[in-house]
Structure 1
Amino acid sequence: MMLVPLKRRKLVLSKGNTGVDGGDIVAAKFPQVVLFLLERKMGASRRTFLSQLGRRKGFQVEEQFSKKVTHVICENNCAEDVRTWLASQGGEQAEVHLLDISWYTESMRAGHPVHMLDRHELQELQVDKSEVVVFSVPAYACQRRTTLENHNTTLTDALSLLAENAELSDEDGRGVAFRRAAAVLKVLPSAVKSTSQLTGLPCLGGHSLRVIKDVLENGSSSEVESTKGSEQYKALKVLTGIFGVGAKTADRWIREGIHDLRQLRDSGHALNRAQRAGLEHYDDINQPVSKTEAAAIEELVKKAVASVLPRAQVVMTGGFRRGKPSGHDVDFLITHPEEGREVGLLPKVLSWLQSKGFLLYQKTTRNSYLESKEGPGRPPSSMDRFERCLSIFKLLRTEKQAAEAPQDVMVNDVQAEGEQKSDESSRPEQTAAADRRWRAVRVDLVVSPISQFAFALLGWTGSKLFERELRRWAGYEKSMCLSSHALYDNNQRRYLRASSEEEIFAHLGLEYIPPSERNA
């Protein structure tokens, strides 16, 4: 039999009662009382200090929650929250006392467990029902009027960031779930004060509710803060900010050790034409486009179209049509009141713009849309097949605009990824951008036949989630197939024509919602 030295015997005894190395911790004096200190809102360092204090006083304090625990000690938590946490741990709630930290500190001073009074027990969350309104909203975003006004920006920003991270990580399903949850909160008439107000609302899954609860109780979401600080998220943001680079390409580069623009340049990667243009004009493209700048581009596009085809119509779509004060790019839909007259228009418009020096980059795709007597193919694609041009415009600035332009265009995410201001040699355009009289702007030109124009206008106005919900409503509720080209009724086996957005909403059995209220 191996002899254990006296000092070791004391330590083994202590560990047997507490589950941790205790040093000078004495054996448990009150074996019928097994304590567990909840770290939530208490903090790790304070929990460690209080746990060690309790063990020195002869209390049995467990590091991990288990069925042995008889008393859960909490700080700044309500009973409902702790019971929810306990349930997630498989705890037998009826046999566990939920106590405030005051009981613990009084027991420490007394040297033994004090009698439990009402004031020691965790209080139920008190909600003034006269101030709390339980919200109710329709299930689909296309049934709701969503303006730019938002009473819950802290919550929606948190969910939107998690949605963006999911999309950048090629997890579109999770991204849509967070987007739908944020869209519900955007339409609420007042700020959310308690998760109890959200009972029964659609699209609020368990993950989204946990994020909302965290923000309401702590002012921010730990998951969101962790995501913001993630090197993967930062790198994906920077690399997908390059025009022509998607999430999959960015992820591949990251796995190759490329996390910022300098590393991409030094890597010697062969970039396609779009990516080269995106890298060259990165700073301009990643600056918001103002409504004034969008209006200047609109005037330019209308002049170009009018010069090659009189009576052709140009409509600015996207976020600017919905009333947003700024955007990432500018989208235009072009048509002609006579069917077929729009054919061949786009090359002439681009030629005119090119001759005037307004195009820095352009890539066109031809119209590939064909209707079928049997209806759209299955599954229906959300992508349209119009003739279009993805371009980068050279927008001339007035003297006033040039003076007001940001002087250090590199103070952005790229700077945070290690591009130092002092390293001007690797970015000669960094200095020149502040002095030149123009900026690069992303512009999409889309040409639609007049017979499809109403559908194209609806599809290109957005928001992206609003359009997704319109298609979901059409499919699930009406057995129809909606795209930016047409609406097909699967029951009647025919296309439903429309000359306005109002007619499309009527076909779908929905109340018409104007563009300014489609900001889902």
Structure 2
Amino acid sequence: MVPLKRRKVVSSNVGNIKTGAENKFPQVVLFLLERKMGASRRAFLSQLGQKKGFQVEEVFSESVTHVVSENNSGDEVRTWLDSQGGGRGRTPVHLLDISWYTESMQAGRPVQILDRHKLQEQQTDGAELVVFSVPSYACQRRTTLENHNTVLTDALSLLAENAELSDQEGRGVAFRRAAAVLKALPGSVTHVTQLRGLPCLGEHSMRVIKDILENGASAEVESTKQSERYKALKVLTGIFGVGAKTAERWIREGIHTLHQLRGSGHTLNRAQQAGLQHYDDLNRPVTKAEADAIREVVERAVVSVLPGAQVTLTGGFRRGKLTGHDVDFLITHPEEGREDGLMSKVVSWLESQGFLLYQKTTRNSYLESKDGPARPSSNMDRFERCFSIFKLDKDERRGTNAAEDTSSVGAHVQVKDEDSGSQSPILRDEQRRHVSAEDGGPEETKLWRAVRVDLVVSPISQFAFALLGWTGSKLFERELRRWAGHEKNMSLSSHALYDSKQGRYLRVTSEEEIFAHLGLEFVPPSERNA
């Protein structure tokens, strides 16, 4: 005997045109937009239309001639259509209010479309309005530091950051990609119609953009900014060595501030202790002059232990940024194998000279023959690497001056956007509160500052891949890997490029060769600020 539940499912298809019901009006193909209508009401109205002989599609396609919605403006529906690839210029559809549909149901036929049935779209002067067009992948675009849509990209980046702190990586990536598209545009967006047909702009991102363009701000973004949870996550993850999961656990225990953490009795690991001790310094932007001063020290250390070795400043500074969250250096030697054992010697030299407040070194665990071409479970590379907190004396900070020094009391802390390298302010009261003798005294009399510094050693055979990977931005690198896998059937990492069709690794000596293998036009570092 068939269970009652299954019998109900089968019987519910009775009257559906797709099971044989007569299609009385073949020239009319309807689609009911669920947005604001709700799933249950949409299902009821769809069944009603099908029983009366209308063709009602479950999924939007180019065959649809009439889109019906409830409580949506024409612009909102058009934006949704654009996100589905069915915007103006592809399929001429009628955008209709639900009133047309209900009148047609009552009449048993499609009634004449009157002005009151049509959804109104805001009219713009097509001669003056610039409609933008960009490639789908960020690695196909040139994104400089000049951003014409900062208000929009900052809003999307904040939502991306909030999603990432909430362990919603997919949602975070979607917002990052949307922001990256806007960063690459050659001009300012003034109306949503300029964005029709652009890639990576989903319904949620478009809703935020439209809200800002029409109202000057996004209610969702402002609400997120004021959220106590978001503020607490920002403060706690600002501690070096503290990730989102640890911060989330502390918040559940009622810890929202540094003061509360200090009084909680929690045992912190060595990295977290250093991060808490040097919190203010590590959450203050590093200037290009400070990065150059640190480079001089690192170069002295490297050359003293291995003459001929090369040191390259990477990250946002290589992309042309004037400030950053930390400083990254890539070290190699033109003779393969000479870099073995280099890191420990460099670290020992820096420690002996009093430059390191904290350091943790990890060994190189990458073996091409063992690991093979499979994409690793993590995008982290496996080079020998030293995570450190560097002690930069003021007399080492050549070129810095009062105008460049952002450490004045009452300033806003700047926290790095991981993809773009842009800086977003967060209220600094909690972060400035704890300057003490353990940091070396008050900021006005302190003769040094702490800076996050990463040292990475790469064999010369992998140097071009490492340089590309460590230059960023994070989203640009993510898109390069996605392009390699989806478009070229290749596997790209900071160690190698593997061609699955040829079944071999592709050897290179420069970034330009990597782009050539991937079939991409070379993008210089200054234009990778996605």
Q: Name the structure 1 match of 2:350.
A: 353
Shift of 1:381: 3.6
1:147 to 144, 147, 163: 144
1:92 to 86, 89, 98: 98
Shift of 1:379: 5.1
8 Å contact kept, 1:283–1:409: no
Shift of 1:383: 1.3
1:498 to 494, 508, 529: 508
1:479 to 478, 489, 496: 489
1:80 to 43, 50, 74: 74
Q: Which residue identity does 1:347 align to in structure 2?
A: S
Shift of 1:204: 0.6
Scaled by the length of structure 2, the TM-score of the pair is 0.74
- Cα deviation 1:181-240 (Å, max 9, x = unaligned): 010111111111211111111111110010011011001111000000000100000000
Check 1:251–1:493 CA distance in 2 against 1; reply closer, same or farther (3 A cut): same
8 Å contact kept, 1:240–1:246: yes
Q: Does 1:305 align with 2:315?
A: no
Q: Name the structure 2 match of 1:519.
A: 529
Check 1:475–1:411 CA distance in 2 against 1; reply closer, same or farther (3 A cut): closer
- Cα deviation 1:416-447 (Å, max 9, x = unaligned): 587498x7798864952331111000000000
CA–CA distance in 2 between the matches of 1:83 and 1:479?
37
Shift of 1:402: 7.6
Q: Name the structure 2 match of 1:35.
A: none
8 Å contact kept, 1:474–1:481: yes
Q: Does 1:177 align with 2:174?
A: yes
8 Å contact kept, 2:75–2:120: no
Shift of 1:81: 4.7
Q: Which residue identity does 2:467 align to in structure 1?
A: L
Check 1:462–1:192 CA distance in 2 against 1; reply closer, same or farther (3 A cut): same
Q: Does 1:236 align with 2:233?
A: yes
Q: Name the structure 1 match of 2:311.
A: 314
8 Å contact kept, 1:239–1:261: yes
Q: Does 1:447 align with 2:457?
A: yes
Shift of 1:336: 0.2
- Cα deviation 1:483-518 (Å, max 9, x = unaligned): 000001111111000010001111111111100000
CA–CA distance in 1 between the matches of 2:386 and 2:244?
22
Q: Name the structure 1 match of 2:261.
A: 264
Q: Which residue identity does 2:361 align to in structure 1?
A: T
* Aligned ranges 1:31-50 → 2 under 5 Å: none
8 Å contact kept, 1:259–1:417: no
SS at match of 1:200: coil
In the alignment, structure 1 segments of 5+ residues that lack a partner are 1-71, 97-117
Check 1:185–1:410 CA distance in 2 against 1; reply closer, same or farther (3 A cut): closer
1:208 to 205, 209, 220: 205
CA–CA distance in 1 between the matches of 2:361 and 2:327?
16
CA–CA distance in 2 between the matches of 1:424 and 1:326?
24
Scaled by the length of structure 1, the TM-score of the pair is 0.75
8 Å contact kept, 1:375–1:494: no
SS at match of 1:433: coil
| Pairs aligned (count) | 421
CA–CA distance in 1 between the matches of 2:349 and 2:327?
19
Q: Which residue identity does 1:463 align to in structure 2?
A: S
* Structure 1 residue ranges (4+ consecutive) displaced by more than 6 angstroms after TM superposition: 82-85, 423-428
8 Å contact kept, 2:374–2:491: no
Percent of matched pairs sharing the same residue:
71
Q: Which residue identity does 2:517 align to in structure 1?
A: H
Q: Does 1:161 align with 2:158?
A: yes
* Aligned ranges 1:97-136 → 2 under 5 Å: 124-136=121-133
CA–CA distance in 2 between the matches of 1:424 and 1:456?
38
CA–CA distance in 2 between the matches of 1:238 and 1:386?
30
SS at match of 1:432: coil
Shift of 1:93: 3.9
In the alignment, structure 2 segments of 5+ residues that lack a partner are 1-69, 82-95, 103-114, 415-424
